[in-house]
Amino acid sequence: MPTLNYPSTLRKHNARFCDEPMNTRSTSTDDSESTPPDPYEVARSGTAFWADAAADAIEARNPEEPVVLKGGVSPSGIPHIGHFNEILRCYFVAEVLRERGHEVRQVFTSDDRDRLRKLPRQLADENWEIVGLGDVDAGALGRNLGRPYTDVPDPFGEADSYGEHFTNLLRRSVERLDIPVEFVSNTELYESGAFDDAIRTVLSNRGTARDLLAGYQDGVDEGYVPFFPVCESCGTLTGTATGVDLDAWTVSYVCEDIETGDDVIEGCGHEGTTSLRNGKLPWRFEWPAQWDVLDVDFEPFGKDHAEGSWPSGTDIARQLFDNDPPVGMVYEWFTLEGAALSSSAGTVVTIDEVLDLLEPEVLLYFFSKRPLKQRDFSIENLDQLVDEFDRFERVALGDSDPGGSDRKQRAQQVYPMLADSEEHLRIPYTFAAVLGMTDDPDLREEIARREGHIPEDASEQAVAGALDRVEQARTWASRTGNAFDYELKRSQMPEVSFDPDTEQALDELAAFVAEGHDGDAIQNRIFELAEEYDLEVGGFFGAGYRLFFDDTEGPKLGLFLAKLDRQFVVDRLRRQR
């Protein structure tokens, strides 16, 4: 027995969901021992961290070491943050299990033998540049509809296939997040024969397989053969196998039209026979086959699978493969700015993009939250997420605990999974955005110090780390064009027109600046001049912001002007350049 250190309340909780009958229309008469916990319950964790509950459920199965956690997606297009549920939900559970002394293997299957069903409207090249379908040879790509992703050429001509191209992109994002993941190609599993036993099991028990599936799906009739061969003539993953010869390890087929949603992929009509390694199992069988072949103990999945392929999959795992299905966990989908994430519709945020806007630990933090909650990823309001993380970090590190001890305990548990143990100095995100108005690193630091965001005794390294956020926040501000998007208009003077009083006041201010005064003095002078010329204070400041930022707002003007080179300021105040 490993020493487990978690609250006793949790144990009670586990007992609860382990004993509950599965919430499906399973037709099986299995004993409770092989009934996996309800994947919704696994995602709910009461007062504990959800990954703890998942780890509990996994331990309840007495898994063999190493414990295998798996995720997977089809490489159908641009990998976006939603796909990372498959990676990061596993990651947190893996971390918990490691803490408990388990050996863990985190696996990701690229379901790359799935067929290309339709062309996405957008693609991303090997440099993560998003390009429209029109920018590649869409015609050539279109001729590959119906083929497995690994048989479709990479439209960018770099990788071996379309599937490999997008898998590579995803893998690189995983690497940027520094998550240890083993990638497995589904196509390779088929080609290497790793799936042979599973295929044999399905096809030699066709009647059982059919009956099982028919309990969950309509349209599974007598002639149904649960295998899709690749047509040797046109390369399409066909839908109609007509017979199998297990001794010869072949399957015969007719290459008929395939309906995929609204579209129909035309078959070439070829009738042929091919190897059982040249094709694939239908998803409903393939998933449990993966569990069996890879010895999967845990798998998170999107809510789209929760009511369909999960119940049938667990049933098939037990009854057909005689295998205990893994612990499943449902997660809700993210939205982007309130809209569904969709590669084809172009509502996509990639990990790469996000990491230009915030630190990896903030992104991980987003994924550490309750899985069943529908969450919006909002770039518009990204500052709120970062602020929330900063608070979370402070609580975890013990500086304060406004939310109570439970919250603190959780923070202390989760935080080490997000960030390294080095000292992190954080400048508030929106303030960092404002600092982006100047390119001068020294000036940035000075302003940050002046405003109290950098303590006297901060190490050089910590300061540098803190200022790294400025670039991210500035990118965010300029990308969203929000209120923090200040940019010093140094090279060219914005178009301005002021009334005569304002112009005179600006000239006097220029003269004052020319004399050489510190920031406070200049700030005071601005107020005095506004009074002397009977100008609205706000309006006069506004004139300054217009001149220097082409905006109505800006930083504390006097202090800021004092930091810039004097002649430039004087000239600009005189509207000369």
In whole angstroms, how close is the CB of 245 to RNA at the nearest point?
26
Partners of 132 in beta bridges = 122
Q: How far apart are CA 451 and CA 435, in angstroms?
A: 11
Quick one: 13 or 105, whose CB is closer to RNA?
A: 13
Do 346 and 59 contact (CB within 8 A), yes or no?
no
Residue 25: count other Cβ atoms within 10 Å of its Cβ. 11
Quick one: 250 or 326, whose CB is closer to RNA?
A: 326
What's the distance, CA 90 to chain centroid?
13
Largest CA distance in the chain: 101
In whole angstroms, how close is the CB of 402 to RNA at the nearest point?
4
Do 314 and 287 contact (CB within 8 A), yes or no?
no
Quick one: 166 or 321, whose CB is closer to RNA?
A: 166
Q: Which of 79, 299, 305 is nearest to 170 (CA)?
A: 79
Partners of 254 in beta bridges = 271
Quick one: 276 or 281, whose CB is closer to RNA?
A: 281
Using the structure block, give the residue that is written with the tokens 């021992």. Answer: 33
Give me the sign of the Cα torsion angle 81, 86, 87, 90.
positive
Quick one: 67 or 448, whose CB is closer to RNA?
A: 448
In whole angstroms, how close is the CB of 46 to RNA at the nearest point?
4
In whole angstroms, how close is the CB of 273 to RNA at the nearest point?
25
Q: Residue 567 is encoded by which pair of tokens?
A: 């002649």
Residue 51: phi, psi to the nearest 5?
-65, -25
* Distance (Å) of CA 397 to CA 95, 263, 391, 407, 537: 19, 54, 10, 12, 43
In whole angstroms, how close is the CB of 158 to RNA at the nearest point?
22
Beta strands in 407-485 (DSSP E): none
Do 22 and 30 contact (CB within 8 A), yes or no?
no
Using the structure block, give the residue that is written with the tokens 């399973």. Answer: 26
In whole angstroms, how close is the CB of 133 to RNA at the nearest point?
17
In whole angstroms, how close is the CB of 559 to RNA at the nearest point?
8
Quick one: 88 or 250, whose CB is closer to RNA?
A: 88
Do 164 and 112 contact (CB within 8 A), yes or no?
yes
* Distance (Å) of CA 396 to CA 179, 361, 399, 404, 413: 22, 13, 8, 12, 8
In whole angstroms, how close is the CB of 562 to RNA at the nearest point?
13
Quick one: 231 or 329, whose CB is closer to RNA?
A: 329
Quick one: 337 or 356, whose CB is closer to RNA?
A: 337
Do 296 and 8 contact (CB within 8 A), yes or no?
no
Quick one: 137 or 518, whose CB is closer to RNA?
A: 518
In whole angstroms, how close is the CB of 163 to RNA at the nearest point?
12
Residues 6+ apart with CB under 8 A from 204: 246
Residues 6+ apart with CB under 8 A from 273: 250, 251, 252, 253
In whole angstroms, how close is the CB of 103 to RNA at the nearest point?
25
Quick one: 59 or 250, whose CB is closer to RNA?
A: 59
Quick one: 321 or 334, whose CB is closer to RNA?
A: 334
In whole angstroms, how close is the CB of 10 to RNA at the nearest point?
6
Residue 539: count other Cβ atoms within 10 Å of its Cβ. 12
